[in-house]
Amino acid sequence: MSNEKPNYFDLVYQVVREIPRGRVTSYGTIAHYLGLKSGARMVGYAMNAAHTMPDVPAQRVVNRQGLLTGKAHFETPTKMQELLEADGVRVENDRVQDFDKVFWDPDKELGI
DNA sequence: ACCGTGACGAGAT
DNA sequence: CATCTCGCCACGG
């Protein structure tokens, strides 16, 4: 049944919108939450098109190391860091400080 | 219709 | 411990 194909892009946007201000998460975490074990790339690619979607704080999504790998895709290379700092997240040398403290886990926060 | 590429991650060597 | 390779889905050429 389920003739509908799972549109992961949309699912990713839904999750990203739930990220609270001052928190961040990783591509792989979102992917895992959606059931994609190794679909982290998909999440990143979805973010590439996120600028077409409103209310999608892509700056709150970083890689597993807490690095702002996608900063180059923002309006300006420093925009991502500025947005994060505006959220209250400390960023230094393109890396989120206290990453484990500001980390937002959907499995934990939203529940499974 | 086919192939390559892409804001990543985990496992293998 | 560092490096390499494969896998995941979608989209462009």
Name every residue whose Cβ is closer than 8 Å to that of residue A12 and which is 6 or more positions away in sequence: A30, A34, A42, A43, A46, A47
Based on the number of CB atoms within 10 Å of its own CB, is A93 exposed (0-12), middle (13-18) or buried (19 or more)?
exposed
Number of domains in chain A: 1
Is residue A109 assigned to a domain?
Answer: no
Residue A45 belongs to domain spanning: 8-101
Residues 85-104 of A, Cβ under 7 A from nucleic strand B: none
Rounded to an integer, the average pLDDT of A50-57 is: 93
- Give pLDDT, residue A23: 97
- Give pLDDT, residue A22: 97
Alpha-carbon distance A32 to A22, whole Å?
A: 22
Nucleotides in chain C with any atom closer than 7 Å to protein CB: 6-11
- Give the pTM: 0.91
- Give pLDDT, residue A93: 93
Is residue A110 assigned to a domain?
Answer: no
Sign (positive or negative) of CA dihedral A52, A56, A59, A65: negative
- Give pLDDT, residue A24: 97
pLDDT, chain A, mean: 91
pLDDT in tens, A64-107: 999 999 999 999 999 999 999 999 999 999 999 999 999 999 99
Check which CATH number belongs to the domain holding A57 and give it.
1.10.10.10
Alpha-carbon distance A4 to A92, whole Å?
A: 43
Q: Is the pLDDT of residue A56 over 90?
A: yes
Residues 7-46 of A, Cβ under 7 A from nucleic strand C: 7-9, 36-42, 45
Q: How far is CA A107 from CA A17, A32, A94, A97, in A?
A: 15, 9, 26, 22
Model confidence band, residue A28 (pLDDT cutoffs 50, 70, 90): very high
